[in-house]
Homo-oligomer: A and B are copies of this chain.
Amino acid sequence: MTMPMERIRATYLLDVDQGAAESRARSLAVEQSVEMPLEAIADRHVLEEVAARVESIRPREGRFEVVLGIAPSTTGNEASQLLNMLFGNCSLQPEVELVDVSFPPGYERAFPGPRFGIQGIREIVRARGRALTCSALKPQGSSVAHLAELAGTLARAGIDVVKDDHGLADQAAQPFAERVPAVQRAIDEANRATGGATIYAPTFSGGPRALETQARIARECGVKMALAAPMLLGVPAFVQMRAELDVPVMAHPAFGGAARIAPPLLLGTLFRLFGADATIFPNHGGRFSYSRATCMEIAAAARRPWPGVKAVLPVPAGGMTVERVPEMLEGYGSDAMLLIGGGLLVARERLLERAREFVAAVRR
Contacts and interface: CB of A to CB of B under 8 A. Distances in A.
Interface in A75-100: 75-76, 78-81, 83-85, 87-89, 91-95
Interface in A223-275: 229, 232-240, 253-260
Given A74-B167, A171-B73, A172-B73, A84 B139 contact: no
A364 interface: no
A106 B256 CA distance: 29
A102 to B, nearest CB: 20
Interface string A15-44: 000000000000100010111110111110
**What secondary structure prevails in chain A residues at the interface with B?**
loop
Interface in A314-362: 341-342, 345-348
A205 interface: yes
A163 interface: no
Listed residue (A27, A76, A79, A208) with the most chain B CB atoms within 10 angstroms of its CB: A76
Interface stretch (A45-53, A60-68, A179-187, A188-196): A45-53
Contacts of A51: 139, 141
A138 interface: yes
A140 interface: yes
Contacts of A205: 76, 78, 80-81, 84, 236
Interface residues of A, number: 85
A348 B40 contact: yes
Interface stretch (A119-127, A151-159, A281-289, A305-313): A281-289
Contacts of A173: 50, 73
B139 A94 contact: no
A129 interface: no
Nearest to A208: B208
Given A208-B237, A289-B94, A229 B88 contact: yes
A52 B207 CA distance: 25
A213 interface: no
Listed residue (A46, A84, A172) with the most chain B CB atoms within 10 angstroms of its CB: A84
Nearest to A349: B42
Given A33-B140, A46-B139, A91-B258, 6 more contacts: A43-B142, A43-B146, A80-B232, A92-B282, A232-B235, A234-B234
19 contacts: A35-B138, A36-B165, A36-B341, A37-B342, A50-B141, A51-B141, A73-B172, A76-B171, A78-B207, A84-B254, A88-B254, A91-B258, A92-B288, A92-B290, A207-B236, A234-B234, A234-B238, A237-B237, A258-B260
